[in-house]
Amino acid sequence: MDKIIAANWKMNNDFCDVKPFVNYIKKNQKNKKNLVVCVPAVMLKTFADEAKGLVATGAQNCYFAEKGAFTGEISAKMVKSAGAEYCIVGHSERRHIFGETNEMLNKKLFACKNAGLKVIFCIGEVLEEKSKYKSVLKKQIVEGFKDVTDFSNIVIAYEPVWAIGTGKVATTDDISKVHGYIKAFFKENYGVDMPVLYGGSVKPSNSKDILALDEVDGVLIGGASLKAEDYIAIAQSR
């Protein structure tokens, strides 16, 4: 399988960036398999229309209810109908800035699955939890995946919170070790081979080493995904 190269624009870039970004990929990237770009919600339709058949479009979040009086929220079904294929669930910024709990994320996971979206489910420990990462990740998985029986179309993104946007990357040994733990946990407890992406300060200068690891099934890129040149440089290092 071609490793997944997923971009997370967060609250960056604008409508005017969509077309040049997609055109750059069209011209410069031969292997277009498993490319995903998660854009701000208002840009989903524009990006999906431009990138149709070339790059998969993803949302960065959605609400778990199907519809109703939830001012400012968007449903998984709306995300899907805008042309998106993927949705990120449980990014650490959602957990830490917006207070999303494992229980909420579990509901979001079901909402996305029910809407036919593929899920990038993020887990990760903060710096103070680094030494006890196993128990932190285990809790995020057990509570986040409560009652899940269909594990298809879900990938985990392991993003140590201390490595996000900080320039501090986990060592390749650490990444192998933690990904190995996550994969073994899914195998032993749910009987599934779960793909695991790495995220946290991935950039063109370190992506080759990270993507070369057997335990790494792809990357989730924030800052270095904003410019098509950097995003494609990372895709070409797989």
Catalytically active residues are 91, 159
Using alpha carbons, select from 199, 108, 121 the residue that is nearest to residue 160: 199
Of 116 and 165, CB closest to ligand PGA: 165
Among positions 199, 228, 230, 237, the unique one binding ligand PGA when judged by CB under 6 A = 199
The residue count for the chain: 238
Alpha helical stretches, state H, 6-158: 15-28, 44-51, 76-81, 92-96, 102-115, 133-144
Task: Report in angstroms how near the CB of residue 6 gets to ligand PGA at its nearest.
Answer: 8
- Interface segment toward ligand PGA; rule CB under 6 A; list 14-22, 110-118, 135-143, 193-201: 193-201
What is the dihedral sign for C-alpha 157, 160, 166, 168?
A: negative
Of 133 and 162, CB closest to ligand PGA: 162
What is the dihedral sign for C-alpha 3, 140, 179, 228?
A: positive
CA 199 to chain centre: 8
- In this structure, the number of other CB atoms found within 10 A of the CB of residue 72 comes to 5
Of 81 and 166, CB closest to ligand PGA: 166
Q: Are 29 and 35 within 8 A, CB to CB?
A: yes
Q: Mask of contacts with ligand PGA, 3-42, x by CB under 6 A?
A: -----x----------------------------------
Amino acid (1-letter code) at residue 97: I
Footprint (CB under 6 A) of ligand PGA, residues 50-69: none
Q: Are 76 and 116 within 8 A, CB to CB?
A: no
Amino acid (1-letter code) at residue 106: N
Task: Report in angstroms how near the CB of residue 67 gets to ligand PGA at its nearest.
Answer: 29
**Rounded-to-integer distance, Cα 178 and Cα 68, Å:** 40
Does residue 211 belong to the site contacting ligand PGA (CB under 6 A)? no
- Interface segment toward ligand PGA; rule CB under 6 A; list 19-27, 139-147, 190-198, 222-230: 222-230
The crossing angle, in degrees rounded to 10, of helices 172-190 and 133-144 is: 40
Q: Mask of contacts with ligand PGA, 146-175, x by CB under 6 A?
A: -------------x----xx----------
- Interface segment toward ligand PGA; rule CB under 6 A; list 133-141, 178-186, 194-202, 204-212: 194-202
CB nearest ligand PGA: which residue? 222
**Rounded-to-integer distance, Cα 145 and Cα 195, Å:** 15
Of 41 and 65, CB closest to ligand PGA: 41
- Interface segment toward ligand PGA; rule CB under 6 A; list 28-36, 58-66, 131-139, 198-206: 198-206
Give me the residues that bind ligand PGA (CB under 6 A), please.
8, 159, 164-165, 199-202, 220-224
